[in-house]
Structures are given as C-alpha cells and as structure tokens.
Structure 1
Amino acid sequence: MPRIEGFEAYRMTMPHGRRPESILVRVCDQDGAIGWGEVAGSDACWADIEGRVGPALLGLDWELPEEVVGVGGLGDHAAASAIDIACWDLWSRRQGTPLSHALGGTRTSIVAGARLDVEPMLDVLLTRVNRLVSAGYARVTVAVRPGWDIEPVRAVRQAFPALALQADAGEAYTEEPAHLDALEALDAYGLIAIERPFAGGELDAHARLQRVVDTAVCLDPADLDTVDTAIAMGAGRMLGLRIARLGGLTAARGAHDRALASGWDTWCGGAAGFGIGQAAAVALAGLPGCDVPSDVSETPAQTAVVSPPVRASGGVVAVPLTQPGLGHDVDERLVARLSRQTLRIPA
C-alpha cells in the first residue's frame, strides 16, 4: 500500500519574464516511487497546495489512486487535479504498467485535433486552418462569438469541405432570439459539434438547443453530477473531457465511462503547459470511448520538461506504452531552473 512520504510543488515560469503558467507536483512513497502531476497555475491554487493539500498528503496511506482525493479531503478542483494525476502516475509505475492501460486505455495512438482562438480576419483564419490541415490535424475547432459565427464557419467550410469542423462558442450565447437563430444556422455547415453554447449550468438551454439541431451539442462539465444530469436531460451528445476542470483523471475517466454507456461521444483536452499535463491527456484519450480527435497542445521545446516531448506527427500522437506511468522521463534539473517557487514537505 503506497504511503506519501514526500511532496514537492513547483510554480513554473515560462521564459522571457512571462507570468507563472503551471504548478507541477511530485509525490514520493515509502519505497521511493515517484509520480508527477500538473495543473494551470494560479495564486489561489498555490496557496491551497501550500497551506492545505501538501500537508494533508504527507503520511497518507492509500491503495488505489481513485481513493486519494476523497481520503485526503482534497475538494478543490485545481489542486486535486494535480495530485490525482501524480498519484495515478506513481501507482501505475509501482504496478509496472503504462498509465493509459491503468486507466483502461486500449489505443496505441490518438488522432489529434487543434483549436483556434477568435480570429476577426477571414484570410488570416483560413491561412491558420490551412496550416493545421497541412500538418495532418483531423479536426479543427474555431472559436465563435455572437456577431462572429456564421461568417467564419461558412468560410472555413467552403474552403475545407471535408474537414471535421467544430465551433466553440465559449459559453457566450443566451437564448435571446438573435443568438438562437445564429446557433441554429450553424447546423447547416456539417459541424461535428457546437461546443459550450451556453453557460455550463444552463442545461435546460442546452437540451432545448439539442432538440432543434442535428449537430451534437458538446458540454464542458465540471463535475460528475453535471454529467449525470446532462445525460438524463438530453442536454447534448458529446463531452469534452478537461482533466483539470473535472478535478483529475479519476473524475475524467468517470465522465468518460458515463458518456460511453449512454452513447455520447467524447474527446480529451490537454491544456498548454510543461508536458506533464499533456502526457496525462494523451493517456486519457487512449480510452475506448474517445473517438473524436482530442486536443493535445504541443509544449515549446525550451519548456518541455518531459522526454520524449508530447508531439503530433502527421496529426497523430503516440500513446507511450514502453515504460510505466506517464511514459515520459521528467527533467528535474529543468523543473528546478524554470521554477519560481518551490515547496517541499518535509522541508
């Protein structure tokens, strides 16, 4: 049974004076096995890890990684997510199995998607989409907002008629008539999903939209209760699984399992970071229900602390299966060099 004997957290800074972007955590058990996790950094998350989560973990006994968040009382999603990833990494290393297999993954590679922020110039948008398509990305998600939705989607669809295209509305719409008219009009462009059209808690609005469009409405759930309610209400047909938003791999796998059992599609999102978060996203995307290309952003070479770095080749990312855990070595010297703050328990 693992017992956490050492805990470290690193507040990471991108080069060139940019603000901290990620918090990395490292857990060590009584036998010297280690595990790494990552979450997007914030002052609140760092304070929670320093004042509550780190001390609560020290000496914690657990048998399965699914138990850690509950046993340790780690309610905060951001801090819990980093710890949950690290404990899954540690546990799968102890078991001598790749993390993807430990989660139930069956794939040797995943098809990669990419997303673009709002781009108000159509020629620039089409150029950026063309670069992604030329690089082999099988799905492209374009951001839309009220007043800038039908025009960019129409332009991309006309230029790339066979592209798997998704529109991310960023929770920017309401049920006012003009907004609903625009969302319903998007149904004519063969999208694989309209993502996050309304605020996350407005499941009734999502359900009403799903009843009038053929395109799948894609939700970005923050907890499993929301997943269960959304499925029961028919508030969509697709889930985007963002590990940090759900609170870790345990919850993300639970959301995946519920979606798979209900016939909903899923994909996994890996936010930009230092490589550990992306590696966890690749492991999750290896699950059998993640049939939609997953977003796995690439880490700049100078900040990738994992080796080999997480990279797409021809729009495909290999699931590392030759070594246990995340399947990547962590450059601890680079972690120390890029760290702005370090926490060690015990010191």
Structure 2
Amino acid sequence: SWSGEQKSSGPALAGVKGHELAKAALETAVLDAELRSYGMSLATYLGAVRERVPAGVSVGIRPSIGELLDDVEGYLADGYVRIKLKIEPGWDLEPVRAVRERFGEAVPLQVDANAAYTLADAEHLRRLDAFGLLLVEEPLAGGDLYGHARLQQRLATPVCLDESLHNARDTASAIALDACRAVNVKPARVGGYLEARRVHDVAYAHGVPVWCGGMLETGIGRAANLALAALPGCTLPGDTSASARYFAEDLTEPFVLTDGHLPVPKGPGIGVHPLPEPLHRFTTSRRALYAT
C-alpha cells in the first residue's frame, strides 16, 4: 500500500543528517528501479490526477526593462501559462509594473525574492499588492518562519515559502503560523519524492496551494517532477519548463511544450530513459557502489 511503503522509506536514510540532494538522487533511483519491476509509473504511485500539467517559466534579473519585456514576450509566445520574475532591492516595483502594463492583468504573474529582503522592507513590499500577483516567494531569510508570518500580516499578496521548508514538519509549522499561503516544493531540496509527497499532503489538507519548483533538471529529473506536479494539491503552474528552456540537447527525449502544458510520463518508473549517446558524451566519471 502507499501508506506502508511511504512510512518505511524514510528510516533507511534517517541516520544521515542533511545531504538532501544526495538522498533524493539515491531514493529516486531505487524507487525508479522498483516501480519498473512492477510496471508502474511514478505518477500512478504518487497519486497523480492529471495527464498533463501547466508549465510556468522563471525569468531572471535582466540588464534593462526592455530586455526583460522582450524575454517575457518570447516566453508568452512559446505558450508558457505563468511568468515568474526574480526581484531584489532596486529591481522590483518597476519591472513588475512594466510587465503588467505591457501584458495586462490576465497574465498569471508571481515574483521570487530569493531571501533578498528584511522585515524592515515590509512597507515597500506591500506596494506589490497593487499588481495582482499570485504570490511573492521567499522574501525574507530562509527559515525565518516568524518573520514571514509578520510580513504576511501586512501583505495582501500571498507569501510562498521555498528554501525555508525542508520537510513536511516545517511545512506544517509554517502553515500553522500563517507564514505562507502557498508552497513551492522541490523534491531534491526535501530529500526526495516521498517527502515531497508528504509536503504536498500537509499543504493540501490545509487548503494551501502547492507548485513544483525546478533545480535545472535534465529530462531525468523533469520527468519525475511532472509526476509530482500532477498531484491534486498542485494547483499552481510550476517551474517545469520545456527542455529547450535550458538545454540545446537533453539527456532524454526532450519535453516539448504543447498549449502551455507538458505531458506526464506514463511509462514504468520515471517513464523516460537516458539517451545512450548524449549520456556517454556528458559523463565525467563512473563509480560502482556495492551493498554490504
């Protein structure tokens, strides 16, 4: 059963403190192999309810407003259904205002501060309320749940937490404190897809919308992220962009945007295979691991 396997998966790595990215890689590899032996997809195992998911795109800080607008125009033309703008002090109100004025109120728009502000900036950040944003992501220092709760009291725009949430327990605490009203879950950040599913479950149970973030995955990680993004609580478009957004050549068959959506892999395990030739070309080292 899902609940039994979910509970039994965590203790195997519980003795290792930290190293979430390494844990996620190991857990995903084992889970992929086991699910392939059953002929079951990761999407089915996690409880996906959609066959395709809407794709958003993250737009970094640009040298000028004009270049930013050109970038956003290109991504909207590609079909992305949500735009995320990176912001920082000195690059926040004006770029957001420019995008809103150029592309209108109908474009789903959110901002990501990457912990660039302090609580002293609350009145400044409150000016973002005028732009009808989906959310402002991680505005304060990572882990500062109290500060984010104080900030949320002063903002109409929902605060979304990302780096501050290392597991489902953190997520429950943040929601109880009203430190966030949206959750970005990155499986590699929380130690794997099983903990990511638990983060989703906690938020979903409290009516807090979830979306799947990205960490520059190749098609291997992107396939698994799409399975997570298809869960019922993931009601906001994630950063599951098409392969071409980041790579001229992917390690798998590329994921291609269709009507602003990406397909959830249906094959066993993560549902994709690495392409042998690119994998060989881009491999820098190999190491064999043996169980004792």
Give the TM-score normalised by the residue count of structure 2. 0.91
CA displacement at 1:302 relative to structure 2: 5.3
The answer to whether structure 1 residue 88 and structure 2 residue 34 are counterparts is: no
* Residue aligning to 1:31: none
- Structure 2 residue 128 is matched with structure 1 residue 182: no
Root-mean-square deviation over aligned CA pairs? 1.8
The partner residue of 2:61 within 109, 115, 118 is: 118
Pairing 1:214–2:156 present: yes
- Partner SS for 1:270: coil
1:278-313: CA deviation from partner (whole Å, max 9, x where unpaired): 111101001011110111133356542223x22222
Provide the residue aligned with 2:141 in structure 1. 199
Equivalent residues in 2 for 1:244-323, closer than 5 Å: 244-300=188-244, 303-307=249-253, 309-321=254-266, 323=267
| Equivalent residue number for residue 168 of structure 2 | 224
Query: Would you say the 8 A contact 1:219–1:240 is kept in 2?
Result: yes
Distance across 2 between alignment mates of 1:256 and 1:273:
20
Indicate if the aligned counterparts of 2:220 and 2:273 stay in contact, CA closer than 8 A.
no
Whether the 8 Å CA contact 2:242–2:262 is kept in 1: the answer is: no
Gaps of 5+ in 2: none
Which 5+ residue runs of structure 1 have no aligned equivalent?
Answer: 1-62
Q: Secondary structure at the match of 1:206?
A: helix
Distance 1:297 1:138, change over 3 A: closer
Which contiguous aligned blocks of 4+ residues in structure 1 show a shift greater than 6 angstroms?
A: none
Identity %: 38
Which digits, 9 at most, give the CA deviation of each residue in 1:76-123, with x for residues without a partner?
A: 201101112112212221221211110011101000000011123111
3-state DSSP of counterpart to 1:328: coil
Structure showing greater radius of gyration is 1
The counterpart of 1:156, out of the listed 99, 122, 130, is 99
Q: 1:68, CA displacement in angstroms?
A: 4.0
Aligned to 1:38: none
Asked if the contact 1:206/1:235 (under 8 Å) is kept, the reply is yes
Matched, 1:171 2:115: yes
More helix by share: 2
Rate the CA distance shift 1:306–1:66 in 2: closer, same or farther, 3 A: farther
| 1:219 Cα deviation from its structure 2 partner | 0.3
CA contact (8 A) 1:82 1:248 kept: yes
What do the CA deviations read for 1:200-243 (whole angstroms, capped 9, x no partner)? 21111111121222211000122222111101101111000111
Query: Aligned to 1:311, what secondary structure does the other structure show?
Result: coil
- 2:119–2:151 Cα contact (<8 Å) kept: no
Q: Separation in 2 of the partners of 1:265 and 1:331?
A: 35
Q: CA deviation at 1:188?
A: 0.8
Q: How far off is 1:163 after superposition?
A: 0.5
Contact 1:100 1:283 in 2 (8 A): yes
Tell me which residue corresponds to 2:5. 64
Please say if residues 271 and 297 of structure 1, whose CA atoms lie closer than 8 Å, have aligned partners that are also in contact: no
Question: 2:50, 2:26 → 1: CA distance?
Answer: 25
Change (3 A) 1:91 1:346: closer
Q: Does the CA contact (< 8 Å) of 1:68 and 1:87 recur in 2? A: no
In the alignment, the residues of structure 1 paired with residue 248 and residue 138 of structure 2 have an alpha-carbon distance, to the nearest angstrom, of: 33
Q: Which residue of 2 aligns with 1:127?
A: 70
Q: 1:342 aligns to what SS in structure 2?
A: coil
Kept in 2, the 8 Å contact 1:299–1:310? The answer is yes
Partner of 2:271: 327
What's the TM-score once normalised by structure 1's chain length?
0.77
2:104 is aligned with 1:104? no
